[in-house]
Amino acid sequence: MVLLHVKTADQQHQFLFETKTNETVKDIISAVATLHLTRLKALRVADAAEALATYGPLRPEETRGLTEEVAKLSNLNVHPDGPPTNPDPHHCRTGVPPPKEVADVILRTCSEAKEALSHKKAERRETLQLEAVQETLNVLRGALQIAYPANHGLPTWEPARLLLEDKDTTGGQEISENITLENACLWWTGKQLQQTEYLSKYLGTNEKTKTVVRLQPKSAGPPVREPRMDAETHKAVLAYCHKKRQEEKAFAEDDDDSYLYSPWADPRALKESLVGINGPIRWRA
């Protein structure tokens, strides 16, 4: 099986995809784009569910961001679900989360979902499967159903509910980078893969190949060249350069010449040791 290390403009959204060389580029692009968008959807559901379990459902649009004092001036009720038990510091949610036992289940499920979808799986050479991502979505849906059976008590504008019901109109453009099933394309070594070709035309027939491809919209043009060194190597180089600069600075500021009076700095030490007078002269009485 061929391993494609799929990258996007954001390093947080990379993953390993498994395919075959006899697959068409069109089918691979469709599968990769579907996996990418489904993964982003699951991550967004996990973020929304975390906020829901921490600060409760989202307020109506007209009361979001309003404090109690400001809301009273407009005769708006910012606490329709009762007094807040965990107030939202941003005043966007009701502050009435589910009971602690249920909230802990949701938070733990979200944490496990983010770990299962982490971009670090690519560093561990673990592939990402569409079935596993869909299963993660189902687990998140089940955790929310524990707190809100049949969405009872969950407003229709709640982001987690909109995402799970495929009614979200924003589409997560800020994180999906405008990638859709219709406009997605793959780039490899500075070349755009043509959908009418087979993958073997570019990679050959070796099924043990691993390579890096770039997923982006067709309108984005050629991707930017990747840096020559990875992030960890870059950090190590910066740390080394900083250490050397600090040492040079310390040497420049150190004007102590007391070392000149040390025995090892005496230019006559070798001659005196050969002559035998490398120590203090003693007179025998």
What is the full DSSP assignment across 232-268?
Answer: HHHHHHHHHHHHHHHHHHHHHH----GGGGSGGG-TT
Spell out the per-residue pLDDT of the chain, length 285, in tens: 899 999 998 888 999 999 999 999 999 999 999 999 999 999 999 999 999 999 999 888 888 888 888 877 778 877 877 888 888 888 888 888 999 999 999 999 999 999 999 999 988 999 999 999 999 999 999 999 998 898 888 888 999 999 998 887 665 555 556 888 899 999 998 899 999 999 999 998 888 989 999 999 988 888 887 777 777 888 999 999 999 999 888 888 877 777 677 777 778 877 777 776 666 666 665
Q: What angle do CA 60, 66, 71 make, to 5 degrees?
A: 90
Whether residues 162 and 250 fall in one domain: no
Position 78 in a domain: no
Position 79 in a domain: no
Whether residues 102 and 153 fall in one domain: yes
Whether residues 41 and 170 fall in one domain: yes
Whether residues 141 and 255 fall in one domain: no
Position 226 in a domain: no
Look up the pTM and report it: 0.77
Range of the domain at 43: 2-56+97-217
Q: Which residues, including other chains, have CB under 8 Å from residue 19's CB and lie 6 or more apart?
A: 1, 2, 4, 28, 31, 199
Domain count, the chain: 2
What local confidence, expressed as pLDDT, does residue 177 receive? 65
What local confidence, expressed as pLDDT, does residue 169 receive? 62
Position 156 in a domain: yes
What local confidence, expressed as pLDDT, does residue 140 receive? 94
Whether residues 213 and 241 fall in one domain: no
Position 151 in a domain: yes
Whether residues 156 and 259 fall in one domain: no
What local confidence, expressed as pLDDT, does residue 171 receive? 56
Position 87 in a domain: no
Whether residues 7 and 130 fall in one domain: yes
Q: Rounded to an integer, what distance in angstroms lies between the CA atom of residue 159 and that of residue 156?
A: 8
